[in-house]
Chains A and B, each alone.
Chain A
Amino acid sequence: NAGVTQTPKFQVLKTGQSMTLQCAQDMNHEYMSWYRQDPGMGLRLIHYSVGAGITDQGEVPNGYNVSRSTTEDFPLRLLSAAPSQTSVYFCASSYSGGVPQHFGDGTRLSIL
């Protein structure tokens, strides 16, 4: 039982590049979400999903896309990376909506 697995752990991009942050969970959780953590600003919700095929925007969705084709996976796509997207990204999952109980170890992303 691996819990929530995020890949990669570290990534450096150039402005304008695109990439996908991967998130997978093996607990059969319906609810999955993506947060970003910035110094002095806590964690902020980017997108979330309440089940396969269902996604919705959080507090800071601009510049990011998500999809949920399976219960296990919830990838986050940066369409055209900007320096303002330099952050630590966390994926989380839970049995019930609104209560992320299990967090991944994060992806540290730098945009040059």
Chain B
Amino acid sequence: KQEVTQIPAALSVPEGENLVLNCSFTDSAIYNLQWFRQDPGKGLTSLLLIQSSQREQTSGRLNASLDKSSGRSTLYIAASQPGDSATYLCAVIIQGAQKLVFGQGTRLTINP
């Protein structure tokens, strides 16, 4: 059974710092991996989607990497801002399946 783990569960950093969020998964046979952002009381917003054949994706200050062999993905946020405060979730699609398997999320707080 595919399991997705995100560490740490919560992270608080001062504004302007670069930071890394971690995601690990137990089964390397994934179709793709997706990072989402969730604001309090809101739904999920897709940030980056990495296909299984890719190693990384970038969008603005965000960079996500994927290492299938080690079962790991990282989300790098450059020059963090208070507006980046949210919960960040990673999810994997298993090959041949029709669902996302989510991690429990990392709650990020950026302090002004």
Contact = CB atoms under 8 A, between A and B. Distances in A.
Nearest to B90: A42
A4 B46 CA distance: 14
**Which of B36, B93, B98 has the most chain A CB atoms closer than 10 A to its own CB?**
B98
Interface in A1-38: 4, 31, 33
A43 B105 CA distance: 10
B42 A106 contact: yes
Interface in B72-103: 89, 91, 93, 97-100, 102-103
A73 interface: no
A31 to B, nearest CB: 8
Which range contains the number of B residues in contact with the other chain? 20 to 34
Contact of A99 (B4, B32, B89, B102): B32
Which range contains the number of A residues in contact with the other chain? 20 to 34
A43 B98 contact: no
Contact of A104 (B43, B46, B91, B99): B43
B104 A45 contact: no
A90 B99 contact: no
Given A42-B89, A106-B42, A100 B104 contact: no
A99 B42 contact: no
Nearest to A94: B46
Interface in B33-49: 34, 36, 41-46, 49
Interface string A73-112: 0000000000000000010100001111111111000000
Interface of A: 4, 31, 33, 40-45, 48, 50, 56, 58-59, 90, 92, 97-106
9 closest A-B pairs by beta carbon, nearest first, are: A103-B43, A42-B102, A103-B44, A43-B102, A45-B99, A42-B104, A98-B93, A105-B43, A98-B98
